[in-house]
Chains A and B, each alone.
Chain A
């Protein structure tokens, strides 16, 4: 019967199997799709919460499909960091599905609704598979499942521009995937294995530290996954894709897909290649350090110059990915855990921002910033949630953004890289410039009398936004819980 470690595979299978049934539900009754997907993701949420409890109490879970021992079987593994990622994925997908109930009404045909929810569940299942894989090829399979469903979701509204931007995203994403696959190929040729731990062992055993093929594989995998995670010079697909996509998809993509890619990038460079290769032979961490500095500042400047709010949030994501990469660049335990904490905080903050913007889009259909004049008086709750998340991104206490930014600044001072503490400070001011602009024109300008019919969005849109906004504040106080989980996982990551 089901043991506790079997739950790890169920967290992938429950969304995936439901995804295959959903197009059928769409034929029977399209309103059924939403309920079925909410039900399935709630079950996954319960499973992943239980999994988190087991992992915290009993340590890392390993699971081998087909029952052989690795490296022959496919290994999946969950440590405390992985469990947090799975929880974030499932929570965000569940909120997105609830959010979409009214949001997608009238945007496409009834049959297509089944496809929409099926793709979201496929995305959730693919993400979970990507996150828990301890085998480099299965990681790639998960990456492809999640990428293909996200390309389709960007273009699902069937408007001309949306299809074009989805296609652009597909081209960039396909380049990223092929680079990753090429890197995996080099690794497999040189070592003859695909399991993460086995790869690390073989690279040392066969004395491949200085081999060109291994270094080429490192370059390919880092480039490929950097494209997927929109790290600074490779972020160009992101604003174009978001400006035409539906808002819930932007929230999912910016909230969890790019984060999952960067999480896997960090996991691979630390577990497979090890600190000696990435710090001494090829100074990848130093490169990431300088890239992060440029990304944080330039991302903020680009965001200030945007007039479309979705593009602004996309550039803000570029800047926030810089913070996460800064954690890798500092490459101490403290820096890396601060980076990961910022990763989870960014998931919550950015999804909340997109959800709040989506509320405005649902009622008024506007995305230009100047049109937000006076919105705060008509939709006080939506804009309050927006402001909480915006303050969190700026880094105002007592929100979660403050904690992770403070930890990152502290870590960079601790590693004697004081220059980056100044960059964090400057970037916070720049963030304040573009977010206070929106808060200002939405609350303090415009007249209350005009357009009286504009009111708050329906509760299925308001409540997920509210949950995320409240989480922003709760994690601002309860940050030791995720931080201690991250630190436990990182102790085994950096040896």
Chain B
């Protein structure tokens, strides 16, 4: 093993076990956001923390392979765009901005729950990409 390369079998094995659970928990927090404490922001950070854990136990380069800058640039604006799109859809169906009850597909309350969940998911993706970008930039390998 070269001197500049740092590898730890224990850390890597535990991370391999932990990362799926972290991802699952993050997704749970996002999709339960409109009923319990949590939501897009918190869930997004939890999702990002799994990637950060991966880049801590492996090389930063390997993590950037999954999340190339181009991919992150595509992920980052998704949340706001989905939010604005659903808001505009409400205007389109003769409601006010983000008046979910005017959306025609389901009942009033169901439609509100569904649209909030979609928005939360979008926000989760955005926050995840954002936190990963900040981590990679501060890691000094902004490729």
Contact = CB atoms under 8 A, between A and B. Distances in A.
Contact of A16 (B70, B84, B92, B101): B84
Contact of A24 (B73, B80, B96, B98): B73
B74 interface: yes
A23 B96 CA distance: 29
Question: Could you say which interface size class chain B belongs to?
Answer: 20 to 34
A9 B100 CA distance: 16
Interface stretch (A63-71, A233-241, A267-275): A63-71
B127 to A, nearest CB: 14
Interface in B77-103: 77, 80-81, 84, 87-88, 91-92, 94-102
A66 B91 CA distance: 10
B76 interface: yes
A429 to B, nearest CB: 50
A21 B77 contact: yes
A27 B69 CA distance: 10
B95 A67 contact: yes
B77 A20 contact: yes
Contact of A20 (B80, B92, B98): B80
A423 interface: no
Interface string B61-76: 0000000001001101
B70 A27 contact: yes
Given A66-B98, A67-B101, A24 B91 contact: no
Contact of A64 (B70, B84, B96): B96
Nearest to A73: B96
A2 B77 CA distance: 25
Given A16-B84, A17-B84, A9 B97 contact: yes
- Contact size class for A? 10 to 19
A17 B74 CA distance: 14
Nearest to B102: A67
Contacts of B102: 67
B101 A23 contact: no
Interface in A172-212: none
A13 interface: yes
Contacts of A1: 92, 94
Contacts of B73: 23-24, 27
A457 to B, nearest CB: 32
Given A2-B91, A24-B74, A67-B101, A16 B80 contact: yes
B73 to A, nearest CB: 5
B81 A17 contact: yes
A6 interface: yes
A6 B91 contact: yes
B99 A65 contact: yes
A331 B106 CA distance: 54
A309 B57 CA distance: 53
Contacts of A3: 94
Contact of B91 (A9, A16, A23, A27): A9
Interface string A20-39: 11011001000000000000
Given A20-B77, A23-B77, A24-B73, A65 B97 contact: yes
Contacts of A66: 96-100
A9 B90 CA distance: 12
A289 to B, nearest CB: 41
B32 to A, nearest CB: 22
Contact of A67 (B70, B81, B99): B99
Nearest to A23: B73
B97 A6 contact: yes
A23 B76 contact: yes
Contacts of B88: 13
Contacts of B91: 2, 6, 9
Contact of B87 (A13, A24, A64): A13
A65 B70 contact: no
Contacts of A27: 70, 73
Interface string B98-121: 111110000000000000000000
A66 B98 CA distance: 5
A6 B100 CA distance: 15
Interface in A12-64: 13, 16-17, 20-21, 23-24, 27, 63-64
A63 B99 CA distance: 12
Contacts of A23: 73, 76-77
Given A27-B70, A66-B96, 7 more contacts: A1-B94, A20-B77, A23-B76, A23-B77, A27-B73, A66-B99, A67-B99
8 contacts: A17-B84, A24-B74, A64-B96, A65-B98, A66-B96, A67-B95, A67-B102, A73-B96
Of all A-B residue pairs in the complex, the 3 with the closest CB atoms, nearest first, are A20-B77, A67-B99, A67-B96
